[in-house]
Structure 1
Amino acid sequence: MCGRFAITLPNDAMAQLFAAAPANDLPDVPNYNVCPTTQVHVVRGGDVGRQLVSMRWGFLPHWYKATDGGPLLINARAETIAEKPAFRAACRQRRCLIPVTGFYEWTKDEEGTRWPWYIHADAPLALAGIWQSWEGEETPFDTCAIVTTGANGTMSAIHHRMPVVISHEDWGLWLGEKGHGAATLMQAAPDDLLRFHQVDRAVNSNRAHGPELIEPIDPT
């Protein structure tokens, strides 16, 4: 599961990092609390090269008649992505990268209170994604989902799932620029890539967006 994330890299730096041509309608940054159904940064390949574009986070299969025409598909499980009718065509033909600075997961204490954790690395992360153009309204728009897999040893301390992280040397393979074999990338990141710390429950509100959201707190 990956239900919230942060992105703090400026748009021009993002475009440079991924060697992608930036669109004119990219979401504002920084955003320390990116929520489902909002616009997110997406890197996709194509005949004219890589593009950094804006997409709705929440994959909409072509048969949805409305944006709420079925379950909210913000994640796609790596184990079944090639079989699910909603995802299988996108998995083969429309893979993308979703840049993040870090992401959040939650645990529950003995009283059932949900506490958020911020997970990050030494550098921005490129999460595996898939995308779909949805034509259920007058103006078609693009939508995306984050690919997830079973947690590695580090992440398993707080959650049993994690997003698939694509390493720099594999970006081209995931985007379809280097032939076949992208399926081999849908696995957990090395245990030593990610770190995490507990953060304030303010991030639970989708109205909160400031840098204080990723600051560590004393769990005691």
Structure 2
Amino acid sequence: MCGRFSLLGTPEEIEAWFDLMELEDFPPRYNIAPTQPILMVVSGETPPPGSNRPNRRALLVRWGFIPGWVKDTANYPLMINARAETAIDKASFKAAMRHRRALIPASGFYEWRRNGDRKAQAYWVRPRDGGVVAFAGLYEPWANAEGSEMDTGAVLTTEASDNLRFIHDRMPVVIEQKDFSRWLDCKSQEPRHVADLLKPAREDLFEAIPVSDKVNKFENTGPEIQERVEDTPPEERKRPQRSKPPQSDAQMKLF
């Protein structure tokens, strides 16, 4: 799963990597949590004749997907992830898989390994060579009863690559740069045409760094949450049960 991630690249780096025209300035974000705004890259309108650049635009989205048909969010679950294996068949995500696929710029994500009766060990999972990666995402416009609108989104997840499975059995889907255009093309590329992209990341892409439980609190937003700590090795590295990162109740009260 993906319950926290970070975005440390500068606007200029994000613009270059995703071939965007322009981004507003923003600070590094070390601890992005559910219900907070996240940056997504989506396909824009048809580019002008003669343009060789892909037409992409940046979109600020509330992390927590709400299907357009939902009326009462009070009793609707907070959907921050969508399982890549079943998203096309789920009523909640089916339309977005066909019409509203997105890229989510990220510098890595956090995951927790359960240690039996002991507290969970947090890991900062980042690209070995640094830089930015693109998670596969879905977005959906939603309007409340008063007509106020916002865009909402989720991260697509898949089975963890072998080198990360000792932490958790799920991870975000990573779209490689060469596949950006195909993933974002919702006009000619149906979900079945891009299903091959919904796979675990290559094993040499990420490294997992044990970090302290400071990341558990979304109020902690500085670089200290990514400092390496001594790992507490599990008795046995095996496929763990699915688990959720600690969350504050305050995050659940957007509505």
Do the aligned partners of 1:105 and 1:158 also contact (CA within 8 Å) in 2?
A: yes
Corresponding residue for residue 209 of structure 1: 221
Q: Secondary structure at the match of 2:61?
A: strand
**Displacement of 1:60 after TM fit?**
0.5
| Structure whose alpha-carbon radius of gyration is higher | 2
What is the CA–CA distance in structure 1 between the aligned matches of 2:213 and 2:75, rounded to whole Å? 31
Stretches of structure 1 that go unaligned for 5 or more consecutive residues are: none
- 1:117 maps to 123
CA separation of 1:206 and 1:127: change in aligned 2, threshold 3 A: same
Cα distance in structure 1, aligned partners of 2:74 and 2:8: 29
Which SS does the other structure have where 2:87 is aligned? Answer: coil
Amino acid at match of 1:47: E
Question: 1:180-195 residue pairs with structure 2 within 5 A?
Answer: 180=189, 181-195=193-207
What is the count of residue pairs matched by the alignment? 218
Paired position in structure 1 for 2:28: 30
Residues 66-215 of structure 1: matches in 2 within 5 Å? 66-121=72-127, 122=129, 123-136=131-144, 137-176=146-185, 179-180=188-189, 181-215=193-227
Q: Post-superposition shift, 1:143?
A: 0.7
What's the TM-score once normalised by structure 2's chain length?
A: 0.81
Which shows bigger deviation, 36-45 or 106-115? Answer: 106-115
The Cα RMSD (Å) is: 1.7
Gaps of 5+ in 2: 47-54, 233-255
Alpha-carbon separation, structure 2, partners of 1:208 and 1:20 = 30
In 1: Cα distance, 2:67 partner to 2:211 partner: 34
SS across alignment from 1:73: coil
Question: Partner of 2:17 in structure 1?
Answer: 17
Matched residue type, 1:130 = L
CA deviation digits over 1:157-184, x for unaligned, max 9? Answer: 1110011000010011110179422221
Displaced runs of 4+ in structure 1, greater than 4 A?
Answer: none
Secondary structure of the residue that 2:74 maps to in structure 1?
A: coil
Residue type of the alignment partner of 1:30: P
